[in-house]
Amino acid sequence: MSGGPTDVATLEPTSAPEPSPPPARRVTPREWVRENLFSTWYNSLLTVVFGALIVWVIFGVARFVFVTAQWEIVRVNLTNFMVGRLSRDLLPRVWGGVGVLALTIGLLTGLSPVSGGWRERVGNLRRAGPLVFLVVVFLSLAGTATPWFLTLGTVAVAVAGYGCARFLPAVIARRAGMVGVVGVIASYLVVSGGAGPSYAAFGGLLLTLFLALGGIVLSFPFGLLLGLGRRSTFPAVRVVCVGYIELIRGVPLITLLFMSGFALGFFLPPGMSRPELVTRALVALVLFTAAYVAEIVRGGLQGVPAGQTEAAQAIGLSPLRTTYLIVLPQALRNVIPALVGQFISLFKDTSLVTFLGLLELLGVAQVILEQPDFRGAGLQTETLMFASLIYWSWCYSMSRASQRLETRLGVGER
């Protein structure tokens, strides 16, 4: 045994380098089917039963759509589905408003920052697939070449807006939201003719979109203020907001619509004329939706950690700037799914205005059944299926847009 100094390096354990993980084996389609659909006898039985049920449903729907259904009632009344009783002389204004809206969408698409380049743009187009499919259905039922040329012109306007967006100043890109608001207002002014016919003449899908978009634009800021007011430290503001929210949420929407449509005159000063029926319906939708938006916003505000407010106060921010810059953006980011769900519900709730005598999309689907050529023909399924397709296309597109926004903002990620 040597008495010399011991080399310290020889006493330190030598750690072998960690082996790199083996590359993941690619699962073939046959292996995936065996593991997920036919792994056990009862999984195999369920797969066969539900597979046969799905095939039967698809076959029945396809047979009805392409063989049995009589789509002549939809083809003849396609314009009625779009604009209701609106004078056909005003259709150029409608197309002009659609062109302005397409230009706005093109500008917003060009101004929005996208990291994936053209691949991301193609993905966005795929997300808009339901609306594109709906447009194709409209054009296939039109039977003339004029709608095709008008649609191609609208697409060209949108592409031109996308191309012009890159030449706009950076200050406009930072205010893309204002561009969208201005575009929507300009589209409405073109359709209504400015000082000409008001939205009282709207009908069909045009009225449905007007009520839905107007309800969303007006109810969101109103509900935001109510949600902030419910958490206010001022007792008077808090009591008023709580009373309004609980009162409106405890009343069905159809009741508010009837009160707005028939009983509003009792709450107006003597001699004051009642607003148009569309205005009264829009007011009821806004009041109803704002109460639910307020509760959604309140839930988002409660989800923001108290440390965020304390940190803002520590650096000297005022309560207003703390709410506007720190708390509110985080709260709204966390409640995007709930907000979009409420707006989708609002879009579908616009069908209730038919009880006030307004001829919106679902009302058109019912009224055209009384036309002499189709009375008693039993074509309710065709008209209701076409209206359902329109509702589904818009609602699903809103849902997909919400998912894209959640992904970009990292909702649900830490």
142 domain-assigned:
yes
* Residue type (1 letter), 16: A
pTM: predicted TM-score of the whole model, two decimal places: 0.83
Structure tokens at 175: 């205010």
Is 286 within a domain? Answer: no
Q: Is residue 104 part of a domain?
A: yes
Contacts for 305 with CB less than 8 Å, ≥ 6 apart: none
91-105, 164-178, 218-232, range with greatest mean pLDDT: 218-232
**Count of domains forming the chain:** 1
Q: What is the pLDDT of residue 352?
A: 92
* 20 found inside a domain: no
Q: Considering the domain boundaries, does residue 205 fall inside one?
A: no
Please report whether residue 122 resides in a domain. Answer: yes
Q: What is the mean pLDDT of residues 222-228?
A: 92
Report the first-to-last Cα separation within the chain, whole angstroms.
59
Q: What share of the chain is helix, strand, coil (3-state, %, to 5)?
A: 75, 0, 25
Q: Is the per-residue pLDDT at 237 higher than 70?
A: yes
Query: Which residue range(s) make up the domain with 165?
Result: 88-196
CA atoms within 13 A on the CB side of 63: 6
Mean pLDDT of 29-36: 82
pLDDT per residue as tens digits for the range 308-364: 888 888 888 887 888 888 888 888 888 888 999 999 999 999 999 988 888 899 999
Is the pLDDT at 245 greater than 50? The verdict is: yes
Residue 316 lies in a domain: no
Which positions ≥6 away from 206 have C-beta within 8 Å?
Answer: 82, 83, 84, 86, 94, 191
Mean of the per-residue pLDDT values of the chain: 83
In a domain, 393, yes or no: no
Q: Which residue type is seen at 333?
A: R
Do the Cβ atoms of 353 and 360 come closer than 8 Å?
A: yes
Helix spans in 253-327 (H): 253-262, 277-302, 306-314, 319-322
